[in-house]
Amino acid sequence: MASQQIVETLSHLVEKVASLKDIIITIVNVADEANLLAINTALISGSSGHRQSGFGIIADKINNLASQTAFVTLKMEDSVIAILEALATAGSQVHQLSKQMHSHSYAAARLVEQFSSIMTTASEQRETCAQIRTVIEGQQSSAEQIHDTLTLLSQGSKITTRSVRNLYSQIQYLSEASSNLQIIFDKFHLRP
């Protein structure tokens, strides 16, 4: 919005400076007329033979004024042209700046949208992470129960292994005893 006001101000300045060109044209016309007047006065003075008379002096003065006016007018015209060019350049630069600002504004709006999207995604991820944490805590509790059960099974297995070894040892003892009894029966020819 500020750049639009600057462009309007520059346009107003261009109009004002352009109006100076009309004034310069009027001054140039006056200088041309004064020059013609000086030439006419010089011709009248010269034809009457009174070069140093009042007409001759007035003709010289008018000629000098016309020359000075033409010189100053040309300088003014050069200055006005330079000012118009500077204003045109400034207007162009303000327009470019306005376009860049609009472009940056659009880019900033896109960044805000993207940041908002990232924040939404992060919020959703936070909820998902909380759910995963709850599941992991539940699995941790189940894993602890499984560990306790496996510990009990391991202890039971050790007890069973000892019992089986004891039973095996007793069976071997009975087997030896049975073999010894068989030998005794065979020695005495006894039949069971």
Domain count for the chain, please give it: 1
In a domain, 60, yes or no: yes
pLDDT at position 192 over 70: no
In a domain, 165, yes or no: no
Would you state the pLDDT for residue 178? 86
Query: Nearest-CA neighbor of 93 among 190, 165, 3, 191?
Result: 3
Instruction: Report DSSP state, residue 49.
Output: T
**CB of 28 closer than 8 Å to CB of 72:** no
Please state the rounded mean pLDDT for residues 99-108: 80
In a domain, 67, yes or no: yes
Please state the rounded mean pLDDT for residues 49-73: 73
Amino acid at 144: E
**CB of 45 closer than 8 Å to CB of 59:** yes
Distance (Å, whole) CA 36 – CA 70 = 13
Band the pLDDT of 14: cuts 50, 70, 90: confident
In a domain, 177, yes or no: no
Please state the rounded mean pLDDT for residues 39-43: 75
Band the pLDDT of 52: cuts 50, 70, 90: low
pLDDT, the chain, mean: 79
Of 51-65, 67-81, 111-125, the range with the lowest mean pLDDT is 51-65
pLDDT tens by residue, 167-190 = 888 888 888 888 888 888 878 876
In a domain, 161, yes or no: no
| CATH code for position 47 | 1.10.287.950
Distance (Å, whole) CA 115 – CA 121 = 10
In a domain, 189, yes or no: no
Would you state the pLDDT for residue 55? 66
Please state the rounded mean pLDDT for residues 73-101: 81
Which residues fall within 8 angstroms of residue 18, CB to CB, at 6 or more apart?
84
Share of the chain above pLDDT 70, in %: 90
Alpha helices in the chain (DSSP H): 2-48, 54-188
0.85 exceeded by pTM:
no
Instruction: Report DSSP state, residue 53.
Output: S
Distance (Å, whole) CA 111 – CA 34 = 68
**CB of 190 closer than 8 Å to CB of 181:** no
Would you state the pLDDT for residue 103? 81
In a domain, 181, yes or no: no
Would you state the pLDDT for residue 185? 80
Residues of the domain holding 15: 2-141
In a domain, 160, yes or no: no
Within 10 Å of residue 42's Cβ, how many Cβ atoms?
18
**CB of 31 closer than 8 Å to CB of 66:** yes
